[in-house]
Chains A and B, each alone.
Chain A
Amino acid sequence: MANSETAKTSNAGFIKNLIRNQCFIPLAALLLLALFNLIADPSFFRITFGYNSAGNPVLSGFIIDIINNGSELAILAIGMTLVTAASGGQDISVGAAIAIAGSVILRVLCGGNARPETLQAPIIVAFLVACVVAMLFGAFNGVLVAYFKIQPMIATLILYTAGRSIAAWINNNELPVISDPRFAYFGGFIPGIPIPTPCFIAVACMIVIAIVLKVTNLRLYTQAVGINQSSSKLNGLNPEMIKVMAFVILGLCVAVAGLIKVSRVSSINYSVIAKDIEMDAILAVALGGNALSGGKFSMAASIIGAFVIQCLTTTLYKFGVSSTALPAYKAVVVILLVIVSAPTVREWFSTLTKKMKLSKEVA
């Protein structure tokens, strides 16, 4: 008797913990989408092994597509989560910054000539230069936010409007095309490895950030600054520095995402590359149940949120939703997810369940 009682409570406790876990909502959304696809058409989960036109082994299928195409978003979600937590605002310039980073990479690789026969510099050098540039732009945003106390959305609006023009200017408005197949590895496949490279890059970024959060005080400090800036200052932290650092880390994420983006097509189109990705990145953070006003955050939930968005996009593509209606469908699902994961709604749910339990006990 007593045994089953404890089992019951521990069971309830487990479910309670599960629901309270921040990852619950995005994971549930992901499962729901998976379930929907399973019922509608199980071939969604089929993964086929084949060879691409260069004769290299590749895996293909919707699941692979989701993981592959969601990589950039997941990487950006990492940086965006930190920025959100530290500054209580969002960076809306990441799309434009990706254009800049991509443009820098191509500029270094081409050396000013729009269609080089051979690469003018090693890819790693181009990538490192892009990292430095993107981090500088991140620092610029960060300084505006931290030291000049400008609202993050307004501060990053500057780069949002100017970024794509800067990107075009870096390459003299030309559209460079890289013909070297090695450059396409980063957005495609490395010969002999059937899994798309962006997956590896995204996983590497996740591992790095997990280690950094585990080993350093980054999480603690960021949350402290986000929850209460003045009290964190009284405790000997430098909140300005930490905010700038969050934006610089986002800059690094931008450079990585930029490399993948330009590598996917070995070229760039300044006005449409990574268009509106900032909104998806912010959405990923929101879907992860993170407070957009800053403070505590869950990195894993944000990353899962990013894949939820990509899963939704791929699902809609799969069902051939008419192109004019696509944004509307997406909006409906997003509204539902955001409302369900909103802290106030969750609170309301928990009081509701409490009340129900209470009434049961009374009965």
Chain B
Amino acid sequence: MKKKLAVLLTGAMVMATLAGCGGASEEAAAPAAEAPAAEEEAPAAEAPAAEEEAPAAEAPAAEEEAPAAEEEAPAADAASGDLITVGIINNDPSESGYRTANDADLKAAFTEENGYSASFAYGNPAVGNANEDQVKAAQQFIQDGVDYLLLSAADTAGWDTVLQDAQDAGVQVILFDRTIDADESLYAASIVSDMDKEGQTAVDWLASQNLDTYNIIHLQGQMGSAAQQGRTKALDDKVAAEANWNMVEQQTASWNAENAQQIVQSVISSGKEFNVIYAENDDMAKGAVAALDAANISHGVGKDVIVMGFDCNKWALEELLAGNWNYDGQCNPFQSSYIDDVIKTLESGGTPAEKVIIMDEKGFDATTITQEDVDNYGI
């Protein structure tokens, strides 16, 4: 086992030297960073890693021989009928319904039938340091010589070194879902949701309802998360700007249905008047509705209280279809088609028109939603 590992390490170092077009200091950093990663994998993933290593290590080595023609090399691979290898680094699928749908979408898109050979790695905050695990996985993928590295980083910071390594090894990096604090030159494209826009779409919809007064219960997500900030900002701005928009209660329920239920119960018990529930995800909207039901306050289309949610869970869209809720804003988890486009562009020698690609995101109105929407957009 140890011998194999030693061979692997030497192989990695040789590769790094071969790729040595850049500064020597960067190269020195690369094997040093790889060494602990390789050591830790030794007991668990040694055998399969070794198997994968042999063919994978050859491919990039061949590419390095013609460093000037870096972009042609993978294109030639595709032409000769080889699969495009992608290393996908995502967050734990059980994190949320969004992540589950996201992971399933990627798994369905990057298959051998579609011309890809994909490997997946996940960072799970419940098990360890998600970001560290992801960095290690990225190093492993670079070592394996993948063509593309797809990344949804757990943290925004700490990615410069590894992305530089990727660039030096000729691996193209595409960010999806979450952006990172790194120089734009280090990645080929970034495919993200615009949370500010999601919030703005929702608030615009609410404004279009032309209520006399808006008395709003605002249930926020985990404070500080990108989704919370984007979805809160639009509403905060509107409430500050309009005289007839009042914030009855603004409280974080941490994405949690039960906390939302307690908060709304508390507002009802204190006898405050409200006619809008703006929940930053579906779970919290559901909790709020449970509290409304218990107090016999009608909600939905043409009723006393307008209920708004986000994320477009299938069950939530069904509530819309039934007229129990009024609005649900989408947070698009289906990035694979966008990524596929980017890869196709890169493979054909082009560059994506924009570095940051913002996905289309809809907002569904209960009065216009159809069963088709539920089937197509429900996650």
Contact = CB atoms under 8 A, between A and B. Distances in A.
Interface of A: 43, 46, 50-54, 58, 60-62, 65, 69, 115, 160-162, 164-165, 167-169, 173-175, 177, 188-189, 261, 264-265, 267, 269-273, 275, 313-314, 317-318, 320, 322-324, 326
Contact of A318 (B127, B266, B287, B314): B266
B266 A261 contact: no
B67 interface: no
Nearest to A315: B266
A181 B93 CA distance: 30
B357 interface: no
How extensive is the interface on chain B, given as a class? 35 or more
Given A265-B261, A314-B266, A317-B266, 13 more contacts: A53-B297, A54-B293, A164-B94, A165-B127, A175-B97, A175-B315, A189-B294, A265-B287, A271-B96, A272-B254, A272-B257, A272-B283, A323-B252
A320 B249 contact: yes
B269 A173 contact: no
Contacts of A273: 256, 258
B373 interface: no
The 5 closest A-B pairs by CB, nearest first: A168-B94, A323-B252, A317-B266, A272-B256, A265-B257
12 contacts: A53-B297, A60-B265, A60-B268, A62-B269, A160-B126, A165-B124, A165-B127, A175-B97, A269-B96, A317-B262, A317-B266, A323-B251
Contacts of A173: 93-94, 100
Contacts of B258: 69, 261, 264-265, 273
Contact of B257 (A162, A269, A320, A326): A269
By secondary structure, the A interface counts as mixed
B364 interface: no
A188 B295 CA distance: 12
B208 interface: no
A322 B93 CA distance: 32
B262 A313 contact: yes
A264 B293 CA distance: 12
Contacts of B294: 52-53, 58, 60, 188-189
B257 A267 contact: yes
Nearest to B286: A265
Contacts of A165: 92, 94, 124, 126-127
Nearest to B97: A175
B341 to A, nearest CB: 27
A51 B294 CA distance: 8
A65 B94 contact: no
Contacts of B296: 50-53
Interface string B262-301: 1101101111000000000001001100101111111000
A171 to B, nearest CB: 10
Contacts of A69: 258, 262, 265
Contacts of B292: 53
A313 B256 CA distance: 15
B286 A267 contact: yes
Contact of A323 (B220, B255, B314): B220
Contact of A317 (B251, B298, B314): B251
A271 B94 contact: yes
Contacts of A323: 220, 223, 250-252
B95 interface: yes
A258 to B, nearest CB: 12
B188 to A, nearest CB: 30
A61 B269 contact: yes
B313 A175 contact: yes
Nearest to A160: B126
Contacts of A168: 93-94
A43 B266 CA distance: 12
A24 B245 CA distance: 47
A162 B249 CA distance: 36
Nearest to B250: A323
A269 B256 contact: yes
A314 B262 contact: yes
B269 A65 contact: yes
A164 B363 CA distance: 31
A43 B270 contact: yes
A46 B269 CA distance: 9
B260 to A, nearest CB: 9
A264 B262 CA distance: 11
Nearest to B287: A265
